[in-house]
Amino acid sequence: MASEIKTIWITGASSGIGAALARLLAQEGHRLVLSGRNTEKLQRVQGQCESGENVAILPMDLGASETMPALAQKAWELFGGIDILINNAGISQRSLISDTQMAVYRQLIEVNYLGTVALTKALLPYFLERGKGSFVTVTSLMGKFGSPLRSGYCGAKHALHGFFDVLRMEHQKDGIEVCLICPGFVQTEIAFNALTGDGTAQDKQDKATEAGVPPEEFAKRMWKAIQKGKWEAYIGGRETSGIWLKRFFPKLLHRVVLRSQVV
């Protein structure tokens, strides 16, 4: 991707990866649309961004798929177009399959998968009419291999890989670019907000998350991967080796993951 100024829509921009990415891209002078459920937190991030007049706020609930067409139109009109949509919003999970209610699985699919698909589909016609556009979706290493206590989260993230791989196949000829960013452990609030078996938040940090990559460093590595036009990027620490173990030594990966988990 060229280095010219872009208009970039970031979901899940109120904290963590989304907020760090917003601050980084604002420093480079890009025009930003920041979305998330918490308007107050979005305003705080907006205030942390340089060139605040080029940073707009557009509150949204990814779980409300029916609102996406109207939101896409509004986002497009804010700066006269969107160059890149960064699908970053989502929610995690920390519960055994045997303890997890079906309502929790439905929520994980509705937010992490169907909401992201609905937003992407709502923006796609604008990209097709203009003849170019980029979809960047933050999935997870859990979209490539599994881990205990995250069954619903893994399922939703695996589904995103299937959908966006096909989106690239169908519309690369139309000028549409697709990039999948797969984080490992990043120092965000994802563990605090993770759903437990009855749908309540875990409300505590994981040691691995606490020791993960700082969001600012992650944002730099993520933006570099986007600029290079990568189809997939695996960003984290030692846990990224699971990608290659899954491909070549799946039984070894199984043992390694179980040793690192308390189930």
Tens digits of per-residue pLDDT, 123-153?
999 999 999 999 999 999 999 999 999 999 9
For residues 222 and 16, give the distance between their C-alpha atoms in angstroms, rounded to a whole number: 13
Percent of the chain scored above 90 by pLDDT?
A: 89
Q: Which of 3.40.50.300, 3.90.1170.50, 3.40.50.2300, 3.40.50.720 is the CATH number of 7-260?
A: 3.40.50.720
List the one residue out of 184, 183, 181 whose CA is nearest residue 233: 181
Answer yes or no: 234 catalytic. no
Domain chopping of the chain, boundaries: 7-260
List, in order, residues 6 or more apart from 136 with CB less than 8 Å away.
84, 85, 86, 87, 178, 179, 180, 181, 226
| Contact present, 258 and 147 (Cβ < 8 Å) | no
Mean pLDDT of 151-180: 98
Q: For residue range 75-128, list pLDDT tens digits in order.
A: 999 999 999 999 999 999 999 999 999 999 999 999 999 999 999 999 999 999
Q: Flag the least confident range among 6-10, 174-178, 184-188, 257-261.
A: 257-261
| Contact present, 174 and 186 (Cβ < 8 Å) | no
For residues 252 and 154, give the distance between their C-alpha atoms in angstroms, rounded to a whole number: 19
Mean pLDDT of 210-236: 96
